[in-house]
Chains A and B, each alone.
Chain A
Amino acid sequence: MDTFVQQVVNGLQIGFVYALIALGYTMVYGIVRLINFAHGDVFMVGAFIGLYAIERCRLPLFAVFLLAVAGAALLAIVIEKIAYRPLRDSPRIASLITAIGVSLFLEYFTALRQVFGPNYYSFPRPFAVSSREVCGVELTNLQTIIFLTTLGCLALLYYVVHRTRMGRAMRAVSHDHVTAGLMGVNVNLVISFTFGLGAALAGVGGVLYGIAYPQVNTFMGVMPGLKAFTAAVLGGIGSIPGAVLGALIMGQSETLTAAYLSSTYRDGIAFVILIAVLLLRPTGILGVPRTEKV
């Protein structure tokens, strides 16, 4: 029983990181109906920014986070302006293919020797990992940091979305961007803000991931990105609580499968769960079906 709870805690560790990434996917999809394939790579850039901030600049941890957040947000806003905005009125598949193009570009461009480089790089741990026993479970300080940071980010996100004007504007634009625009909302600004906000969370996630699994590489965002996106769909794409729920489920299924079944099936099991859920609830667990007016 102890080990089971232990595995659950471990599952929460990766689950929380997935949540930070998943939120970006769900918010962007909610507002522009785009599957932002490049989001996983923004996460990767966040991790690399963290790497350089700790290793080269020797910055304290909170500064590292700030830098990663700023860098990731800036990157996402630039991408949106150059690659997605011009296609907003074109068929959706064109934006999707462009997103794929941006993703590939980020992965391979940063893999050039002149940029980040093609190898696996070791992410420096800014603190020694220690663990403490809490209620019969081993809790590492790393996990505590992940939990607290993520919960803090979620609280901040909740505040922004529900208690600020920008948040209200975000919700309006995601319902109907034409009408929101007619009501005086600066739609472009809101969309840029949403991209930036999602990327900021991914940036935090990137740093946390780097600390937790200290091997970074320019393709490191592919699988976590895919899984986080799946998590967002699982929870109901467009729903913020759904993204968190889906991510936690993904984290748990992965960890428990690796612990009790076999680690080779780890990547597959999450998708089996996804398909099972979609068949029962076609719009995800907390998703709201979009009824089409006939």
Chain B
Amino acid sequence: MKRISALARIAAPFAAAAAAGYLLEATDVVNPYWVQIFQLACITSVSALGLNIIYGFTGLFSLGHAAFYGIGAYAAACLMKIGGGESHLFFLAALAAGSACAALVALLVGLPVLRLTSDYLGIATLGFGIIMKVLFDNADSFIPLLGGARGMTGIARMTTVPWTVVILGIVLVSARNLVRSGYGRALVSIREDEIAAGTAGIDTFRYKLAGFVAGCGLAGLAGGMYAHLYSFLHPSNFDFFKSVDVLVIVVLGGLGNISGTLVASFGWIFLLEGLRVLLPPEYIEFRWVLIPVLLIVTMLLRPQGLFGFREFRFFREEAEP
């Protein structure tokens, strides 16, 4: 009985969020365009959280995050197109598969590359990102379904608001649980001082690999969700700029800070869209002039990120009382 009530306690907030999401989508209380932006913000949060695990928590400077986002997107979309139709169950399986693909590639890439030190790791992952982009551009020569430089169209619009919020919720709770456990502390110790962590008994390579794979897996999950939100994929969505975007979000929010990543993701997406709406049409290009200025000013004034080390209480909790 205790088990069931415990499970119910955990499931309740998710059910509530899902219900709220469903209402949001079904009624037209909010302009559907903004609902979609909200979903994009949720998806970006998942991806950014992945990079935060890799860079903020484990200290691995990865500049190729968008590549894994893309791998997840294309893999999930491909599977869904081949076998899924409109089935929600298949959709979830496709998302999981997309995430697993990204994780697998991360494992293969990580094994050789994670031996490199910080700046070199950055450039190697950057290089990998560009290689993937080139592969995405030419993907239609191996698998015509993927569309290549023409883009991949006709993806089912499966990413509903309930799914988005529930998945984000699960990811946030999982991230918190992992990060506040001994495993999370081990990752952070590697970031702080890899040599000391090693002599304290932590298998640093294995943990670095695990952190990298987990973070890239999240990127893949986010990618799959993204593919089924906009129903169209193009390689230009997964270039170096995209990797830079997500890095900016993670640093702005505060490295190693879940709350910061969440807020910064939403802030970034809504700022981008907000400016598009606010600025008069002749000045629409000013959007991308204002944003870097904001970025520079923020870094000059608060280099540790908006949240620094402070977290919302939920994310600080260690063990269930």
Contact = CB atoms under 8 A, between A and B. Distances in A.
A230 B248 CA distance: 21
B128 interface: yes
Contacts of A101: 292-293, 295-296, 299
Nearest to A226: B240
Grouping DSSP codes into helix (H, G, I), strand (E, B) and loop, the B interface class, with mixed when no group exceeds half, is: helix
Contacts of A94: 251, 299, 303-304
Contacts of A109: 289
B292 A90 contact: no
Contacts of A267: 130, 134
Which 5 pairs of residues, A with B, have the shortest CB-CB distance?
A271-B127, A94-B303, A268-B134, A101-B295, A105-B292
B134 A233 contact: no
Contact of A279 (B112, B130, B195, B240): B112
Residue of A35, A111, A112, A274 ringed by the most chain B CB atoms within 10 A:
A274
19 contacts: A29-B119, A103-B292, A104-B288, A105-B293, A109-B289, A118-B285, A230-B126, A233-B119, A264-B137, A267-B134, A268-B130, A274-B124, A275-B131, A278-B113, A278-B116, A278-B124, A279-B113, A282-B115, A294-B195
A136 interface: no
B267 to A, nearest CB: 15
B186 interface: no
A108 B116 contact: no
A149 interface: no
B134 A264 contact: yes
B251 A93 contact: yes
Contact of A268 (B112, B122, B135, B299): B135
A100 B244 contact: yes
Interface of A: 29, 33, 35, 83, 86-87, 90-91, 93-95, 97-98, 100-105, 108-109, 111-113, 118, 226, 229-230, 233, 237, 264-265, 267-268, 271-272, 274-275, 278-279, 282-284, 292, 294
Contacts of B138: 264-265
B19 to A, nearest CB: 39
Contacts of A226: 126, 130, 240
A97 B113 CA distance: 23
Contacts of B285: 108, 111-113, 118
A111 B137 CA distance: 26
B251 A97 contact: yes
Interface in B232-276: 240, 244, 247-248, 251-252, 255
B120 A233 contact: yes
A108 B296 contact: no
Nearest to B240: A226
Nearest to A237: B119
Interface in B128-145: 128, 130-131, 133-135, 137-138
Nearest to A273: B127
Contacts of A90: 303
A271 B131 contact: yes
A272 B131 contact: yes
A222 to B, nearest CB: 8
B170 interface: no
A275 B296 contact: no
A275 B300 contact: no
Given A101-B299, A264-B134, A265-B134, 4 more contacts: A91-B303, A108-B288, A118-B285, A275-B124
B300 A86 contact: yes
Contacts of A233: 119-120, 123
B27 interface: no
Contacts of B124: 274-275, 278
A37 B41 CA distance: 26
Residue of B138, B299, B300 ringed by the most chain A CB atoms within 10 A:
B299
B281 to A, nearest CB: 13
Interface string B100-126: 000000000000110111011011101
A157 B83 CA distance: 61
A97 B292 contact: no
A282 B119 contact: no
B188 to A, nearest CB: 15
B75 to A, nearest CB: 20
A112 B286 contact: yes
Nearest to A104: B292
Nearest to B117: A282
A294 B199 CA distance: 12
Nearest to B285: A112
Contacts of B279: none
B295 A97 contact: yes
A288 to B, nearest CB: 13
A108 B289 contact: yes
A248 to B, nearest CB: 18
Contacts of A100: 244, 247-248, 292, 295
Interface string B288-321: 1101110110011001100000000000000000
A29 to B, nearest CB: 8
